Each structure stands twice: as structure tokens, then as C-alpha cells.
Structure 1
């Protein structure tokens, strides 16, 4: 297939004048492929390093936090058992009258029931004069001690004085218990008070817990590579630390000052405030990066510090990245060689397809595409281009036909719009001696033609019929049903004296042949020019509004009947009332109340009174209302037909226009319909 493309346009051919291999297309493809692979490799390594480092460090943080929480919960469980037991002894002894033997038995039972407890002390001062004090230490190993018999001055001890003055229990700092054989202990001390508010303190109760019971559960964690665990007593003593032995009895603040560990000041602050803390920092002495978690152990006052080294994690990450770089570089070299080989077989026919595509881009659809008979992907591309060439030619012909048809449709719609607008009457002014009646309406369809309508009908000189309605749906079907509805209403108004009978007759006529199940809501009314008597009936339409001359407005309670077109109906309740002098009757379609702004908020009937203009003409009322609707919805497009109708009556001594006589019926020169 090589002869399908002229040799003058295909570089890399073996014919005379072929380009050197260093400047051939396949070599350039291979070099670019290699460069892209190198760039992708670099990006991959950087992205992998960033993502892996972030993921690994996040995992390390979560692991450290979870480990610290789990260890703190275990320690809190061990301490909580002791505090619960101590509170139980305090409540029992404070509320019961027990003999010394019963006190000893109770204390011994509590010591045995508390896991890990080394012993307990109960001090009970006399309740009344003549009673004997009680001060007994019961050891789990059995070597009890009677402080009263031994003459031990326990009342002079700081731990006793602090306990009886304390409002609640407290944990001691670690200390060596010689009675237990030189074992490091911690003690929970609880004042013993009688029940009731303001009761006096009668003594104390305390339980001893070996320090090993707190350090052993976290000691294995402290020996993991890169991990550091510290246990801080309520007063700040380091009960467990890899660098500070318990025998030093050194506090966390003292260790920070002595060792120059300023990076731990934030942790020390959290310990003092009994608040949890997580933060990353660098060792102020060694420079090692760590992530430290401070976790308070319940409400005991103890705190746990767990830290994990970042350096061990990042070192393993660096080794994996270097291995990835080496493998990626080798793959990039192999890929470049393979791509160069493949480019030799692809470049020649591809250039032929490129030339054919260029001709298509220039609008030349008469020259066939080469290589359409190849069985490989190049042939598929060639056949695709050839199919596209034929499709474009066919579509160009179809576009010409569619353009002509669209122009014809637009012309027909324009004519239909003009016909529909011609069906709508202009505004009227009827003068009868001192009575003047203005009637005006304005319709703006959402499409070329719409389904809203209105009409003004005079069956006698002193009576004006009017109607406003809204047909379901929009466009051409609604316009046809609208024309039929207007015709039926005009015929019915000329033969029936009351609006409810007009609607009943129209309901019967519009059901006939309504296979499309379209319907219309209609407000129909009649007003007497001289007396102002007004009757209204509604076929599912919104009730109108009456604007008085002094600016007051009210919604007329016109009971709605069924819409016209669904089924024959004759239940159209009649509203009767008076149109006072200077008042305006205003009606509208749902294109006004359901006009939505850009935030999908409806105009609603509550905003209609804001657009009213007391004393204005019927035309001014309609135009002001529609202008307010457009200002509210801008820049949202109009979604439905908009129609407003106004009937205004006034009494004076002159007609509305200088040329009109008192009995003359005239139409304003500017009272015309302005559809959108």
C-alpha cells in the first residue's frame, strides 16, 4: 500500500531522496515517545512520592493516635476500677454503722475484689465522744497494720491532710512503698463523709496500685522501633519515660528544661490542661521528626504521651522510590525503541490519511479517501473518513432542505401570531353621561403564539362583557384552542344574560370534539357603565382584585367553578357587587403569579398590590403590573404567557377625550394591544 501515497509527501521511504533516519518521522516519534515517557516517569515519581508520603504519614498519624487512645483506655480501665471500689467503700462506711471487725472485713473484701490492688487504708474518726478512732491498713499479701495500735501519726501526714480537705478523690504521685517490699506504688485517696450536704469529714479511704500495673500494658509499645511512650502522673511526674527513670522522680517540665526539649512544651501545656493533643515536631536535640499524641487518661489526672518517628517511615519510602525510578527508566528506554519500530509501519499511510483529512477540512468533498481497502486500523480510519465524507455531503443537502423548511415554518408562525393578535380587541372607553368606563388588556405570549386570551363584548350600549382566560399548554395547540374558546364565549355572551350561563354554555360547547383533553380557565364578567353593577363567574381562574380610588385593595371572593373543556359543567357560582367610582377591577393569568426569577422564586399574588397605581388609567395599571413582573424575573426567560386586564370606572362632568360627546362610545387612540 505504500504506493498509495506519493513519495514526495511521505518522509522515511526507502526511495531516492528519502529523509535521513535521524530526521525521519519514526525517529521523531520514538524520541518524542521517549521524552514523554521520561516526563511521565518524573511526574509519576513525584506524584507517587507526594501521595505515598502523605498517605504513609497520615497512616502513621492515625496509627499513633489510635494506639494512644487504645492504651489510654486500657489504663483508664485499670484506674477506674480502683476509683469505683474506693467510692463504694466511702459510700458504704459513710452511711452505715459498722463495727471494727466489719470494717476490716469490708476493706479486705474490696482489696481482694480490685484487680491488681496491693492494699487499702481506712481511717474513721469517732462520730461521738467516747467512740474509738479506726485506722487500719489491709494488704493483699496479708501483712495488715493498725495505725492506732502502732501509734503512727497519720493525722500529721500530708496525704491525710490533703485528703480530708479535698472535695473528692485524687491520685498520688508514684512513691516507694516499703511496707509492700520497696515496690513503686500509686494510691487513690478518697475523703470519707457522712451523707448529706455540708456533712463533716470523718476520715478517708485509699487503695494502693503497683505502678507496674500501669506501665506494663504500654511497656511493649515503648520498645517498638521508632516509638516513644511516656506516662505522666497528675502532678507531672514522669512515671514512665525511655530517658528518665522513675527513681529520678522528675517532672515533665523539669525534663524539658534539663534536656533542652523545647519541642515538648506544647505537649506539657496539654498535660497541664488535661487536654488531648496531636502535633508533628522535630526533636530539639537530635532533629528527628516525630508525631506526638497526648491523651488524657479519663478524668484521673494521668496523661499518656505516644510518639512515632517519621524518619523510619520516610527512609523506607525513599528506597521504594529509587527502585521505581530505576525500573521506570529501563521501561522508558525499551518503550522508545519499540515505538520507533512501530512508527516505521504507521507513519507512511497515516500521512496519506492526513492529506485526505486536510482536503475535507478545506471543504473538498469530491476526492475519495485512500487506503480504504486496508484490513488494519489504518483502513478503518480511511473508511471512517470516507464515510464521514459521504455523510457530510448528505448532511449539507439535508441542511439546505431543513433551512428552507424552517424559514417556511417561521413565516407561518409569524402570520399565525399576527392573526392571533388581530383577534384580540383594543382597549375601550365608554362614555355614558357622567359615567366613564375604561377597558384595557395586554397579552405577551411566551412563544410566537400563545394560549392566553381576553375579550371585550358589548351586547347593549350600557353593558360591557369581558373575559380573561388561560389555555393549558403553550404554542400552536394552545392558540387554536384559545381561538375556539374566544369564539364560543362571544357567541354565548350574545345569547345569555348572566356570566354563569355563559360559562355553562361554553363548557358544553368546548367538551365537544376535545380529543386532546385541553382545557381553559376563564374569568367572565359583566359591568353596567351607568350604575357600576358588576357580576362575575369563574371557571377555575384566579379571583380578581378591586383597587379603590383611595388606594385600598381587596381580593374579590369569586367562587371558582370547573375549568372549561374537561367535562360539561353548570356549577359556576355568581359573584355580584358594585364597581365604585374611581375603582379599578384588575384580573390576570397565572403567567404573572407563576413568573419565576433566577433563584426559582415565584412572583406570587402577594406582589401584585405593590405594582398598583391608584388613580391611574386601565392601560397604565396593566403596563405597570407587567413591567413589575419583568423587573422581578430579569434575567430569567419568560416561561409562560402573561396577560393583565383592567376595568376602571369613574364619574365626572366631562368625557375622557375632548372629541367624545357624553353619549358617544370611543376607543383611545393609544389603547391598543401590545403583545410581546
Structure 2
């Protein structure tokens, strides 16, 4: 209950739902969200596909543009190289006079578009032949090297041409004679043993004319590399005819172009996507060798303008998607208002019916019947269901109250049963007789409130009888059978001469009236406190372990049938002796079959490793606690799968005891000091 501004007490159930909490608003918002998610998903998927297609098309266009420009450059160069090769073969294979050589040279120059000049050198092959070395320019300028005394043989280009054996292109150079014009030259030696060469000059402007238009395209950069690596032309500012591409990369830090330059050095066509280290733009660059001329063309295209326009269109689409989603949500809300109105009426009626001005609980309501029950649609079904629910609340609460009381009573009874079961279990024992010390102890941890495991210690003269067992079930039935088994064993031990006789007597007693067919595995033993002599028999129980001074071994106790199925006398007796310092450990399968959260069992090997690492001076109580602690650490947060019981008996010589008359007394394990152990061997 809460108090209103006027001081009136109001119910926490309100009959009115605010618009932002209403069903139609939620339906509208969810529909709008779904529409938005759908539209955004479709838009983004389409954008991803279109972006990839646009980039792929742009790459193909860039490669096609580079290949086309390289083809046009190759055609320009090929025309000049063919003319040079033809003139060289003509001169080498015919004997022409100087006038005829000049005419042939002029004709070749006129036949080659874009050629700026030609040089022809023909050295005499036989005495008396003419020596010809002339340069003829397209502007009519002639130069006779013989008359001028020009020593062309001392020029590097002449030596390189003769040594090359094939035509080669020079890097661009500034021709002062032609009026400070940048040119490049193709040089070819005379074939078939003739001594001389043919050169054709081409102005660099004529050479790069086919690719200059690329430099003006948006986002495109074109670079032409000469055979020796000099940048002949480039859209990049400040590097054309000034440096090589390697120098530019080193100077400007353009490591993104290193792979392209390596491919240019190898005259290998390639293409790659890379990010400009100066501008950060994503670029796609293509490298195309110009035939076998040694020239290389690089064309790069940035996608930022394309992606920018694409992203603008994508933003508009997303904004449109949001508008459509909002419009859809508004329409759905209008439609939902018509559908949800009967439900809202029912809600108000239900709240009114459930609220009670006297402040009584819902279970106490005896108000008027729920309205809207006459309707034939879903609202009517809901109204009738709510009316039935109102009537069933009281009976359900009553049932819950009765169940709670019964559960509380059951838990109390289980607690009493656990206390009774624990009272059936004996305390540990300790014997200090002269120089001899025996300590016996056990721990039991049930998987449920009560369990089926048990153990017992019974003093009989100078001997200590001990029992450990495991009933075939868990919970209350196992606890009841366990109590019966402990009682029968204790009765049998009072008159039995050996553990085998005790098990045989208990087998006869437990088999009577065992209609539930429950059974128990039992290990029964007897030890002489003075000598350490030990007798044991097993009714289907696991063999105990012996912790000696130097190793851990399994005591080979042959097992007879479990107790409870049928009467049996077949319980083989094992006899031996504990040496000074030995510790006998017996367990139930709740130790080795304890499972962790990974469904991994504790296992015999892990138990053996633990016992190997125990302190050999540890007593029975410490051994039991170490084993239980290790099992708990292993299973962690996993629920216990079975009852866990550990029994241990340590025997040895005591230290600091009087050497007078023997003094026998027993006390709970864990008190006093454990005597030093002398090495010994098990006798079978």
C-alpha cells in the first residue's frame, strides 16, 4: 500500500497503464525495430556487395587503362625501333656511297613520325672505303662528325652500342644543341660484322603524349620510368627528370611503392592495393612494362572519391531506412490500438477486481466475477481463465503451506536420523602399551543427509576389531540397512574367532527377511595390539592399502560374496603382520569413484600417488584427513556421487614412553604423539 498526495491509501495495483508501458507501444517499437534491422541489414549487405563490385570494376578499369596507355607507348617506340633496325640492315648489307647513305638516312627520318633526328656511323670495312658519320635533324640541321673532328669513339654511348649487340634506349637527357629539349635516343649497332651504329632521337614530349591525359583524370597518378630507372614523367610533383624512383621512395618514405619498384627493376607486370604513406589514401597501382624496350609505366588510382560518393549514398539509404521504420512503428501502433483496446478494458477490470479497499491479500478476495467472460474471442478465454485462477489461488496457497510444513518436518526427521546414524559409528582408538603404539581412526561423509557407508571399532581383549562397509544404495533405505548391518556385525564379532567367521554369521543373519534384496560389501579385520598380527576377510569389498616405510602396496585379501543376497561361508581369511611404522588404509568406492565437474574420476592411481607422498610418521587420523581433503579438492564444486568413508590403522613403537610394566589404555584418535616406526615386512 502507498499513500497518495491527498493522504488516501491506494493499492499497488493500478488500473491505468501509461502509454509508454502499453502493449501497443511495445508492439509498435518492436515492429519498428524489426523493420529497421531488416532494412539496415539489407542495405548493409547490398552496400558490401556493391562496394566490392565497384572496387573490382575500378581495378579492372585501372588495369585496362594502364594496358591501353602502355600499348600506345609501345606503338610509338616500335615505329622508331623498326626504322632504326631497317636502316641498320640496309647499310650493313649494301655498299653505298656517302651521298647514298645520306639519302637513305634522310628518307628514314622522314618516314618515322615523331623522330627528331638520326645518327648514322659506318666505319670502312676495307681499305679505300668511305668513312661515314653524320647526324641529320628534322629541322634540317646536319653535322658531319668526320669533318668536325668529333671523336665519337670516345663516347660512352658508342662503346655501349657496339658492346650491347642489340638496340637500347637511353634515359632522357637535355639536348642543348636542339634548343634545350629533353630527348631520348634509340641506339642499334650495325649487324653482320659491320662496324657502326644507327641512332634515332625522339623528343620526350612526343613520347609521353599518350599518357599525359591520364594525369588529368580524378585520383589517377601516372609515372613513366626510363630503362635506367630515371623518372621520365610523373603526376607526383617534383620528381620527373630529377631522380630515380628508388631515391624518391627513400626520400619521401613511400615504402608502399617498394614492391612496384622491385617489379619495375625486373620488368615484371604486377598490380597491388596499398595505402599511400603520405596521404593515407587507399590506392590500386598497376605496373606495365612497355614491350621489351626497358620503359615501364606505373598507373595508380585512388578510391577515396569513389568510396566517398558511395558512403554518401549509403548514409542517405540508412537515413531513409530509419524514416521508414519510424513510419512503420507509428502505423503499427495505430493498428495495435484497435486490437489491444479490449485487452486494456480487461486489464482495468482485472485490476479493479483484484484491488481490495480493505487491503486483504489476493487469496482472501471474494469479489464480483470477472467481466468480459461472455466474449467468444481470446479476451473472453482470458477472462474466464483469470476467474478460475482467482478461485484456485486460495487452495494452492493452502497446499503450499501444508507442503512447507511437511518439508520442514521431513528435514527435522532427517536431521534426527543423521544424528542417530552418527551415534552408531564408533570413535577412533589409540593404544599405548609399553613401547607399542596403535592408532585407529575413520571418517565418513555421506552424499545425502544420511548414507549407506559405515565403519566400527570393537575392542576385544588385547585385540581391536574393525569394520568398514558400503550398502548398495544411498539415502534413507541405505541408512536403515546400514544400521541393521552394523548391529549384526557387532553381534557376530562378540562370538566369532576370526573375521571370516564374523562375516559368515552376519551373512546368515542379514539374508533373513531381506525382501528388498539390498546388500553390503564389508571388510572385517582383527589386529593384535601387542604384536601387530593382523587377520582380515572381505565380503565383496575393495582390498585395503598398506603404507610401508618405502612403498604403498595393495593387501591381497580375497573377496567373498557381499552380505545380504544369500547365506555363505566362503570368506577366505588373510593373515599377516604390520611392521613398525606401517599404516593400513581401507576405503569405500566413494573415494576412487568421486567425480569432478569434468566427469573425471578420482581413481586408484591418484590415491596411490597421494599415499606415496604422505609423511611416514603420520598417524591414522592424519592419513584419513589428508585423503578426504584431497578428494574434496579434486571434485571442487561437483556434487558428491556417493558416500565417502576412509578407515586407517597405524602401528609402531612409541617414543618417550616408560620401559616399565605395560600400560594399556584406549582413547579417541588424534590425541597424544605417534611413536617412531621401525621398518618391517608384511607376512602372508
For the pair 1:544 / 2:560, whether they are aligned, the reply is no
Structure 1 residues 556 and 335: alpha-carbon distance in aligned structure 2, compared to 1, 3 A threshold: closer
Rounded to whole Å, the distance in 1 between the matches of 2:478 and 2:21 is 66
Rounded to whole Å, the distance in 1 between the matches of 2:513 and 2:57 is 77
**C-alpha displacement at 1:450, in angstroms?**
0.8
For the pair 1:558 / 2:566, whether they are aligned, the reply is no
**C-alpha displacement at 1:291, in angstroms?**
7.2
For the pair 1:268 / 2:257, whether they are aligned, the reply is yes
Corresponding residue number in structure 1 for 2:307: 310
Equivalent of 1:609, from 608, 611, 626?
611
Corresponding residue number in structure 2 for 1:401: 402
**C-alpha displacement at 1:539, in angstroms?**
4.5
C-alpha distance after superposition, 1:427-456 (max 9, x if no partner)? 234566654533322222222211111122
* Partners of 1:537 and 1:575 within 8 A in 2: yes
Corresponding residue number in structure 2 for 1:451: 452
Corresponding residue number in structure 1 for 2:644: 642
* Partners of 2:43 and 2:318 within 8 A in 1: no
Corresponding residue number in structure 2 for 1:350: 347
* Partners of 2:436 and 2:654 within 8 A in 1: yes
Rounded to whole Å, the distance in 2 between the matches of 1:554 and 1:234 is 87
**C-alpha displacement at 1:558, in angstroms?**
2.1
Rounded to whole Å, the distance in 1 between the matches of 2:21 and 2:544 is 80
Rounded to whole Å, the distance in 2 between the matches of 1:59 and 1:560 is 80
Rounded to whole Å, the distance in 1 between the matches of 2:563 and 2:489 is 13
For the pair 1:379 / 2:344, whether they are aligned, the reply is no
C-alpha distance after superposition, 1:101-132 (max 9, x if no partner)? xxxxxxxxxxxxxxxxxxxxxxxxxxxxxxxx
**C-alpha displacement at 1:177, in angstroms?**
12
Rounded to whole Å, the distance in 1 between the matches of 2:287 and 2:23 is 56
Corresponding residue number in structure 1 for 2:371: 370
Rounded to whole Å, the distance in 2 between the matches of 1:293 and 1:499 is 94
Following superposition of structure 1 onto structure 2, how do residues 457-606 of structure 1 map, counting pairs within 5 Å? 457-458=458-459, 460-494=460-494, 497-500=497-500, 502-503=502-503, 518-548=518-548, 552-559=550-557, 561=559, 564=562, 574-595=573-594, 604-606=606-608
TM-score (normalizing by structure 1): 0.55
* Partners of 2:370 and 2:387 within 8 A in 1: yes
| Structure with bigger gyration radius | 2
Equivalent of 1:618, from 598, 620, 624?
620
Structure 1 residues 373 and 265: alpha-carbon distance in aligned structure 2, compared to 1, 3 A threshold: farther
Other structure's SS at 2:559 match: coil
**C-alpha displacement at 1:53, in angstroms?**
3.5
Unpaired segments of 5 or more residues in structure 1? 1-23, 73-151, 161-175, 180-221, 672-676
Rounded to whole Å, the distance in 2 between the matches of 1:338 and 1:40 is 12
Rounded to whole Å, the distance in 1 between the matches of 2:30 and 2:248 is 48
Following superposition of structure 1 onto structure 2, how do residues 223-262 of structure 1 map, counting pairs within 5 Å? none
Structure 1 residues 417 and 346: alpha-carbon distance in aligned structure 2, compared to 1, 3 A threshold: closer
Corresponding residue number in structure 2 for 1:426: 427
Rounded to whole Å, the distance in 1 between the matches of 2:312 and 2:53 is 19
Structure 1 residues 326 and 634: alpha-carbon distance in aligned structure 2, compared to 1, 3 A threshold: closer
**C-alpha displacement at 1:387, in angstroms?**
2.6
Rounded to whole Å, the distance in 2 between the matches of 1:555 and 1:625 is 16
* Partners of 1:559 and 1:575 within 8 A in 2: yes
* Partners of 2:559 and 2:571 within 8 A in 1: yes
**C-alpha displacement at 1:578, in angstroms?**
1.6
Rounded to whole Å, the distance in 2 between the matches of 1:508 and 1:34 is 78
Other structure's SS at 1:426 match: coil
* Partners of 2:621 and 2:670 within 8 A in 1: no
**C-alpha displacement at 1:234, in angstroms?**
14
* Partners of 1:457 and 1:464 within 8 A in 2: yes
Corresponding residue number in structure 1 for 2:416: 415
Corresponding residue number in structure 2 for 1:52: 43
C-alpha distance after superposition, 1:287-312 (max 9, x if no partner)? 9x86759999xxxx999989864346
* Partners of 1:472 and 1:478 within 8 A in 2: yes
Structure 1 residues 640 and 158: alpha-carbon distance in aligned structure 2, compared to 1, 3 A threshold: farther
Other structure's SS at 1:446 match: coil
Rounded to whole Å, the distance in 2 between the matches of 1:156 and 1:497 is 118
**C-alpha displacement at 1:396, in angstroms?**
0.8
* Partners of 1:587 and 1:644 within 8 A in 2: yes
C-alpha distance after superposition, 1:518-567 (max 9, x if no partner)? 4444333221222211133444544433345xx64522332553661596
Corresponding residue number in structure 2 for 1:437: 438
Other structure's SS at 1:310 match: helix
* Partners of 1:506 and 1:564 within 8 A in 2: no
Other structure's SS at 1:386 match: helix
| Length, aligned pairs only | 491
Structure 1 residues 456 and 365: alpha-carbon distance in aligned structure 2, compared to 1, 3 A threshold: same
Unpaired segments of 5 or more residues in structure 2? 1-14, 64-159, 169-184, 189-213, 264-269, 289-295, 672-684
Other structure's SS at 2:562 match: coil
**C-alpha displacement at 1:65, in angstroms?**
7.3
Rounded to whole Å, the distance in 1 between the matches of 2:631 and 2:397 is 43
**C-alpha displacement at 1:457, in angstroms?**
3.5
Structure 1 residues 26 and 403: alpha-carbon distance in aligned structure 2, compared to 1, 3 A threshold: closer
Range with greater deviation from structure 2 (621-630 or 417-426): 621-630
Rounded to whole Å, the distance in 2 between the matches of 1:655 and 1:464 is 21
* Partners of 1:26 and 1:341 within 8 A in 2: no
Rounded to whole Å, the distance in 1 between the matches of 2:507 and 2:285 is 81
* Partners of 1:290 and 1:310 within 8 A in 2: no
Following superposition of structure 1 onto structure 2, how do residues 116-131 of structure 1 map, counting pairs within 5 Å? none
Other structure's SS at 2:48 match: helix
C-alpha distance after superposition, 1:567-592 (max 9, x if no partner)? 66777665433212343322223333
Rounded to whole Å, the distance in 2 between the matches of 1:514 and 1:233 is 104
* Partners of 2:32 and 2:328 within 8 A in 1: no
